[in-house]
Amino acid sequence: MRNVRQVLRLAWEAKMSQEEVGRACGLSKGAVNKYLQRAVAAGLAWPLPSSLDDAALEGLLRAKSTVPAPKFPTPDFPTLTIELRRKGMTKWLLWEEYRLAHGTPSYSYAQFCHLLRAWRKKQASSLRQEHKAGEKAFSDFSGQRMPVVDARTGEVRDAEIFVEVLGASTYTFACAVWTQGLQDWLGCQRKALEFFGGVPAMLVPDNLKAAVSRAERYEPGLNPAFEEFAVHYGTTILPTRPYKPKDKAKVENAVLIVQRWILARLRHRTFFSLAELNEAIAGLLKDLNNRPFKKLPGCRASLFAQLDKPALRALPAKPFDYGRWIKVRVHIDYHVEIDGHYYSVPYSLAHEQLDARLSQGTVELFKSEKRVASHPRSFRKGGKSTVADHMPMAHRKHLEWTPGRLLNWGLSVGPRTCEVVRHILESRKHPEHGYRSCLGLLHLSRTCGKERLEAACGRAVSLRSPSYPTVKSILEQHMENQPMPGAMQVDLLELPQHHNIRGPHYYH
């Protein structure tokens, strides 16, 4: 009330103008006029009564400054607020309904909107969140991107900026990635935890697709890979409510600070790789975390060392290995195709649908959440990764045969049989193409005996037809011990000399 007394003295006793009084008291002309009007309305005059202290003077002035009654009927603001939540509802439509209900005169549309905004502003209240040490880490992508130039082609590609901040100390991490996809998101989360040197009790992400598969206020659906990430690190995920930025005010503020103190400083630099951009961000991030607070002692780094760091859980021995989940169908040959490569599963699962988890170095196959096969990841197109235990017994025995083993078997029967086996294997484009023929000889040795087979192979070699069909025909006709045709028999096959036979001179 000291200013009020000074205003009244200068205006009523010194007879100064309102503008002069305002300059002398450091007030605006409007404020001086308001004080004088309230004093006149309260029936005061100069000098003020000696019994009138500051509290009494304030009571007199406030008593006479009651809010005047509204000129027109007051709109039902709670009902209007609920109605505005309806799809397609507009303030203009609500204003027209208000005018029809109360008639004219009534508030104009502009005044109607002004009163509604003022009422809603009074109803809005924010709960100041108290963050415990090591409890929450808030994360989000910055809306501002950084350009990266391809040194070979000159193409410019924008990089996303990821930001994560701890609740208690506001210790901040930031890095650049190409996309907001799942693999980049999990990679950023892993780098952030490694930067903090520990794991908080909860991860609080925004409702982006990489983190939340179904955005819902009460029971949001989490991305399975992100859930697996949380299980690996022994933490939990608590997504924010949709369209509620106050739930993650910490990271909203951190994003703004990163944009101002890091990205703005890099705006004149040209980066030719993502690694170069991340190196520049890391240097400025260190300065940001060591920058002193304006209203608190210390800085983010010192507060982190004091509060969050001792409360964080230890990192696991191995970092999280991102795995992409897909559904696959088992072929009739008990293999599944993934990126052009074939991986075996137990033969009993032929034609079944399985879940496959693809990581950088491993392929895991699951049936009803039970792992049925695991293979090292291969990117060789058309190749096969087969485990012998996945094969039927007959197929396993077939694979046990090799060219060396077949030759050894042939030699155990006799040299002629070994010669036939060698010819069969070498005459094919690939040795495996002759396996069946060799196994046919093996079957003949069981039915006809090794001695007959050796003799039949000897006759086939003499006839210059060392093949399975020839050997089989010789054994069926029991010709393995028959004498070979002599030279006389061969001469009978030669053409006789006769005058009716034309010689080569005939064609000249």
Q: What CATH number should be reported for the domain whose range is 136-311?
A: 3.30.420.10
Separation of alpha carbons 223 and 233, rounded Å: 16
How many whole angstroms separate alpha carbon 139 and alpha carbon 291? 21
pLDDT in tens, 141-167: 888 889 999 888 888 999 999 999 998
- Closest by CA to 167, choosing from 253, 258, 263, is 253
How many angstroms separate the Cα of 298 from the Cα of each of 133, 173, 346? 16, 18, 62
**Which amino acid is residue 343, in one-letter code?**
Y
Q: What is the pLDDT of residues 408-437, one digit of tens each?
A: 888 899 999 999 998 888 887 766 667 778
Q: How far is CA 481 from CA 409, 415, 458, 460, 472, in A?
A: 23, 17, 10, 12, 14
Written as six digits, the tokens of 180 are: 């907001």
In single-letter form, the type of residue at position 139 comes to: S
Residue 365 in contact with residue 349, Cβ under 8 Å?
no
In terms of DSSP H, where are the helices of 129-260?
A: 182-196, 224-233, 249-258
Query: What count of other Cβ atoms lies within 10 Å of the Cβ of residue 321?
Result: 15
Question: What angle, rounded to 10 degrees, do the helices at 450-462 and 468-476 form?
Answer: 120
pLDDT in 10s for each residue of the chain, 508 residues: 567 777 777 777 778 888 887 777 778 888 888 878 877 877 777 777 777 776 777 667 665 445 556 678 888 887 787 667 565 678 898 888 888 888 777 888 999 899 888 877 776 554 455 667 888 889 888 888 899 998 888 889 999 999 999 988 889 999 999 988 888 888 899 999 999 999 998 888 877 766 665 555 545 566 777 888 888 899 988 877 665 665 567 778 888 889 888 998 898 899 999 999 999 999 999 999 999 887 667 888 988 888 888 889 999 988 887 777 889 999 888 899 998 899 999 988 988 999 998 877 789 999 988 999 999 988 888 888 888 888 887 666 666 667 888 888 888 999 999 999 988 888 877 666 677 788 888 888 888 999 999 999 998 998 888 999 999 999 998 888 887 765 444 444 455 566 666 666 666 6
What pLDDT does 219 receive? 52
Tell me the chain's radius of gyration from C-alpha atoms.
46
Q: Which helix (H) or strand (E) holds 260?
A: none
Residue 143's nearest CA partner among 240, 226, 251 is 251
Alpha-carbon dihedral 298, 303, 306, 307, rounded to 10 degrees? 150
- Sign, Cα dihedral of 224, 225, 230, 233: positive
- Confirm if 161 and 148 have CB atoms less than 8 A apart: no
Q: Are 140 and 163 in contact (CB under 8 A)?
A: yes
Residues with Cβ < 8 Å from 497, sequence gap 6 or more? none
Backbone phi and psi for residue 11, each to the nearest 5 degrees, phi listed first: -80, -40
Residues 6+ apart with CB under 8 A from 145: 158, 159, 160, 161
